[in-house]
Amino acid sequence: MLPDHLDMNLQIIFIGFNPGLKSEEVGHHYANPTNRFYSVLYRSGLTDRQLKPEEDGRLLRYGYGLTNIVDRPTRGVKELTTEDYNRGRKQLLKKIKLYRPRINCFVGKGVYQKFSGIKKVSWGFQQHNQVEGTRDFVAPSTSGLVRMSLEELVDIYKQLKK
């Protein structure tokens, strides 16, 4: 199982769907070479250099954490079940309440939709937060499958810097 990188009172927890097979294989978040996560963090000013997947634990030094709504690795999100999401939602809620981050950044609209049950979601900070004291932010997935340009992704993630 891919380990979370979490600590108390983080600035941001980045929450993905679930570990991909490559991430599970190497033991690091966002390890697929086509994933733009670390590039987006750097280009949006959230990190001072572009980290590599094997440095995922270093994000804690920036005040950032990493977790997923579902901890079971799959080839793609279409393999996840309703049961996976129901169990994952409960576990994620416990993590958020325990660690008390300032911001939950859901890396993908679908992640937030599965967590919150809210269907109509826009990019950025949400009107209603799921846990009191923690703001919810929805950002696009950084997967290479997402058809947004790097610049479009970076523009949305820059809102977290503010």
Question: Is 18 annotated in the active site?
Answer: yes
Nearest alpha-carbon partner for 142 in 41, 48, 71:
41
**Percent helix, strand and coil across the chain, each to the nearest 5:** 40, 15, 45
Q: Which residue among 18, 35, 68, 104 is the active-site one?
A: 18
Relative orientation angle of helices 109-116 and 82-99, to the nearest 10 degrees = 90
If you count them, how many residues does the chain have? 162
28, 29, 68, 104: which is the annotated catalytic residue? 29
29 is catalytic: yes
Instruction: Report the catalytic residues.
Output: 18, 29
